[in-house]
Structure 1
Amino acid sequence: MTYSDRARAFAALHQPGDPLVLYNIWDVGSARAIAGAGARALATGSYPVAMAHGFADGEQVPLDYVLDNARRIIASIDLPVTIDFEGGYARAPRQLTANVRRLAETGAVGLNFEDQVVGSDRIYCLEEQAERVAAVRAGHADIFVNARTDLFLKEKDSSKHADLLTEALERAAAYAEAGADGFFVPGLSDPDLLARVCEGCALPVNAFMRGVTLAQARQAGVARASYGPIPHTRLMQVLAEHFQALE
C-alpha cells in the first residue's frame, strides 16, 4: 500500500457519529499495546511523548527526537499513525512546510497542528494561522492535517465557551479553505456545544475526551475522539500504586 493509499484509508476512518477512537500513545511499547487491543489507528500525544522521554511539553522535545520516535513507532506496527506536531516547530511558513515534509518521510499519515503560540497564552490571529495551515498542507498533499483551535483550552471558564462558538467556526472555515482535513476542539466538553460545532463545521470534528463520554461524542456527531495525556497519566498512577502495594 502506498503512502497516499494509507493516508486516504486513515481519512476514511473519520465518520461523524462513529468516531475514530485514538487512545494516545508515546513510544513503541504503548503503540504495540494499543494496536494489540484492537485499535484502528494510533496517535501520539505531545505531553506523554515529552513526559516519557524526560522533557517538558510545548515543543521542548527536539524535533529530530520527535521524528525519530515517530519513525520507530511506525516501523513497529501495521496501523496508520498520526503525530501530535504541536505548532509545527516553526512560525515561518517556509520552515513549517519543510518540517511537515520531514514528518511525512517517517511514514506518519496525519498530524495535529495547533493555533496557540507555543509557550505563551496567545493564539495566532486568524489570517496568520490560515497561512500557517496552508504552509503545513504544502508539506504533503495527502497527510491528514487536523487543525486544532486552542480557544476553549485557553478559556478556563466553561460558562463562556458558548460565546466562542462563532470565532471557532470562523477558524474552522478558514482552516478548511487553507487545506485542513479535520478540526480539533480540545477543552470543549459540553455535548450540546460540541453538537453545534459538528453541525456548523464542514470538517470532521475531533473532541478531547476529558469530561465527554463516547456515547455523548457519538450523539454530538464527533468524528474523532482523542484522549491526549489521559492514558499516560493513568498508567503512571497505576505503576506508582503497584510499587506502593509491594510488601
Structure 2
Amino acid sequence: MVRTGQAQRFHALHRGPGVLAILNAWDAGSARVFEQAGCAAIGTTSAGIAYALGRPDGEALTRAELVEATARIAAATELPLTADVESGYGATPAEVGETVAAVIAAGAVGVNLEDAAPEGGAALRDLDDQCARLRAARAAAEDAGVPLFLNARTDAAWLGVGPAEQRRELIAARARAYAEAGADGIFAPGVSEPDELAALVAATPLPVNVLATRTTPSLDELERLGVRRLSVGSGPVRAALDLAGRIALEVLETGSSELMVAGTLTYREANALFR
C-alpha cells in the first residue's frame, strides 16, 4: 500500500543518515518547488496555509480548510508528507482524533501536534489532557491502518513558559510523558543552544526535531549533537511574502523590476514544475 510505504520511509528518515531537513509547504506550488530541490520529505506550515487564505496563524483556519490544503499539497508530491495540525482543531481528544483521521485520508503520513494552552499566553495545556490528545491521534492512525509518525510539539521554550532555569527539565518531562503517550518524535521550537539540544537528546529516546532560526546550529552541528530533524516552519512563506513586498516597493517607487527578474524562474521553467 502506497501510504504505508511512505509512512515507513518517513520513519526510517529519522534514523539517518544525517539530519532530516523538512521543508514546509503552504500550497501545491511550494511543495513541488521543494520536491524539485531534492528534499526527502515535506511538511505543511499552518501559518503559511493561513496566510494564503488571508488569515493569521493560530487555528484561524477551519478543520475543513486545513484538510483541503493538506490534500492539495499531498497530491502535488510523491514524497512523504507530515501535516501541521496545530493543537488538533478540537476541544476534546475525540475531536483531535477526527482531525488526524481526516489529514491521513488527505494524504499525510505524519502530524505535528502542539501543546500550547488554548487560552493563549505563556502556558501549556494540562499534561494529562495533552497525553490523552496524543493517544487519540495514535488511535486514529491505527484505525486508518497507517503507521503515522506522531511528532509531539512542546511550546515551553517557544512561549517562554515558567522560569528559565526550570524550562529544560519541563521540556524533558514533557518529552518523556509524550513518548509514553505514543509519540514518535519530540519537536521543541525555541530550543537552539547546543547545550540545551544535547540535554534534550539525552533526556528522551525520541528523535529530536528543532526549528530553523537565526540561532540554530548547522546541520553538521545538529547531527553531532544527536538531533534527528530540522524543520523550517513558516520561514519560506515569510521570505516569499517579504520578497513580494520588496518587489512591489521597487516597482512603485523606482519603476524598476530588477528585483523581480534577477535570477528568477522563467515562465517556461515555472510551468515545467507542474508537468
- TM-score band, normalised by the shorter chain? over 0.9
The equivalent position to 1:209 in structure 2, one of 194, 204, 212, is: 212
Q: Are 2:241 and 1:236 aligned?
A: yes
Alpha-carbon distance change, 186 to 16 in structure 1, aligned in 2, over 3 angstroms: farther
CA offset digits 1:164-187 (Å, max 9, x no partner): 121211111111111101000001
Secondary structure at the aligned position of 2:25 is classed as: coil
Percent identity, aligned pairs only, is 35
What is the TM-score when the length of structure 2 is the normalising length?
0.84
What is the TM-score when the length of structure 1 is the normalising length?
0.93
Q: For the residues of structure 2 that align with 1:93 and 1:238, how far apart are their CA atoms?
A: 40
CA offset digits 1:190-235 (Å, max 9, x no partner): 1110111012111000001112032332222111101111111111
> Could you say which residue in structure 2 is the equivalent of 1:32?
32
> Could you say which residue in structure 2 is the equivalent of 1:219?
224
Aligned residue runs from structure 1 range 72-221, under 5 A: 72-121=72-121, 122-141=123-142, 142-155=147-160, 161-210=164-213, 211-213=215-217, 214-221=219-226
Secondary structure at the aligned position of 1:15 is classed as: coil
Answer yes or no: is the 8 Å Cα contact 1:17–1:217 preserved in 2: no
Q: CA deviation at 1:17?
A: 7.6
Alpha-carbon distance change, 37 to 16 in structure 1, aligned in 2, over 3 angstroms: closer
Kindly indicate whether structure 1 or structure 2 has the higher relative contact order, using CA contacts under 8 Å at least 6 residues apart: 1
Q: How many residues align?
A: 245
Q: For the residues of structure 2 that align with 1:199 and 1:162, how far apart are their CA atoms?
A: 18
Answer yes or no: is the 8 Å Cα contact 1:89–1:96 preserved in 2: yes
Q: For the residues of structure 1 that align with 2:66 and 2:57, how far apart are their CA atoms?
A: 12
23-32 vs 147-156, greater mean Cα deviation: 147-156
Larger radius of gyration between Structure 1 and Structure 2: 2
Q: CA deviation at 1:242?
A: 2.3
Answer yes or no: is the 8 Å Cα contact 2:25–2:73 preserved in 1: no
Alpha-carbon distance change, 45 to 237 in structure 1, aligned in 2, over 3 angstroms: same
Q: For the residues of structure 1 that align with 2:161 and 2:97, how far apart are their CA atoms?
A: 32
Q: CA deviation at 1:72?
A: 0.9
Q: CA deviation at 1:70?
A: 0.6
Q: For the residues of structure 2 that align with 1:204 and 1:212, how far apart are their CA atoms?
A: 17
Q: For the residues of structure 2 that align with 1:119 and 1:215, how far apart are their CA atoms?
A: 38
Q: CA deviation at 1:126?
A: 1.6
Secondary structure at the aligned position of 1:48 is classed as: helix
For structure 2, the residue ranges without an aligned partner over 5 or more in a row are 256-275
Secondary structure at the aligned position of 1:146 is classed as: strand
Secondary structure at the aligned position of 1:59 is classed as: coil
Letter in 2 for 1:191: P
For structure 1, the residue ranges without an aligned partner over 5 or more in a row are none
Moved over 6 A (4+): none
Letter in 1 for 2:138: R
Q: For the residues of structure 2 that align with 1:119 and 1:36, how far apart are their CA atoms?
A: 40
Q: CA deviation at 1:7?
A: 0.5
Alpha-carbon distance change, 20 to 127 in structure 1, aligned in 2, over 3 angstroms: same
